[in-house]
Amino acid sequence: MIDQALPIIFMFIMGFAMLAYVMLDGYDLGVGMLLPLADDDEKDLMIATIAPFWDANETWIVLGVGVLLIAFPQAHGIVLTSLYLPVTIMLMGLILRGVAFDFRVKAEVSQRSFWDGALFAGSLTASICQGWMLGAYITGLTVNVVNTMFSGLIALTLPALYVLLGAGWLMIKTEGGLFRKAVRWGRAATIPMGIALLLLSVATPIVSEEIAAKWFVMPNVIGLLPIPLSCIVAYLTINWLLYKREALEAGYGWIVFACTLLICVMAGIGLAYSLYPDIVIGRLTIWEAAAAPESLKFVLIGVAVTLPAIIAYTAFVYKIFQGKATKLSYD
């Protein structure tokens, strides 16, 4: 019984890690993509809002990929072989972002704009590649015209979600002129994100018969209604609040960020339901892909130590650096 449950436990841990990465590093990437729209002084403040967190945020993708490799080695081979090119480009984007983040602090003032551009390019590249990989994964890693168009659709629209997360984060961490700009950026991002949610909701069951069969049968349709309904309510709340200046200036900007996170969580739950029990849709179940039970039991001990440590460290960092951000100092 325990042996049968182990793949489910590791699938949950991997899904949790990937969702945490999207939500936390998502706003980092969003702030990076918004950087060219700000003034020089505002750019320093934008960097300051993510400086204490971005390294910790990227830990989650390491954990998620690590669990995939160790707990589901057969799936790891299939997934990373199929996604070799976008994974490589994504890593190059993340490396470029990390290098630019550190070098802009040490660079001459005249060179800082170059590293700002590199930070933007790295953030945008990583976001597009993550969208492409998500689209390819949903379509079972099979290549044809429809699936390629679907992957391209997500690649072009996922950055809008990250931009909205970034704008929401800036509403929490900044004030004054930058805060007002973040509100405008958030308003602009809601339109493409809303279109993306609608198109993805329509396109996903079309490109995947397995997913359509799980969602559009009774009584599943009724039981799953809270997922799309909560996303609609969250989206409408974001749009309503972004035009309520008094409420935003009174400190309710965090609701925009929270509602965007809610959309991410609901989308993650929907994706998990769509996939289960497969780890590669239509090709491999979690039990077929799982490592030997003895290996999983051994690895579970390490994960039982590592996962709480990552959660505790993340919570500690966010508690220490809560409140409004202050300008960077280069002294």
pLDDT tens for the chain, residues 1 to 331: 667 788 899 999 999 999 999 898 889 999 999 999 988 888 888 888 888 888 788 888 888 888 888 888 888 888 888 888 999 999 999 899 888 888 887 767 777 888 888 999 999 999 999 989 988 888 878 888 888 888 888 888 889 999 999 999 999 988 888 899 999 999 999 988 888 787 777 777 776 777 777 777 778 778 888 888 999 999 999 999 999 888 888 888 899 999 999 999 998 888 888 888 888 887 888 988 888 888 888 888 888 898 998 899 888 888 888 888 776 555 5
Evaluate whether 269 touches 226 at the Cβ level (below 8 Å): no
CB 166, CB 31: distance < 8 Å: yes
Spatial contact of 33 and 131, defined as CB atoms under 8 Å apart: no
pTM confidence score: 0.89
Domain boundaries, the chain: 2-320
Classified as helix, coil or strand, 242 is coil
Rounded to the nearest 10 degrees, the angle between the axes of helix 112-138 and helix 2-34 is 140
The reply to whether CATH 1.20.1630 applies to domain 2-320 is yes
Q: CA–CA distance from 68 to each of 24, 76, 126, 173 (Å)?
A: 20, 6, 20, 34
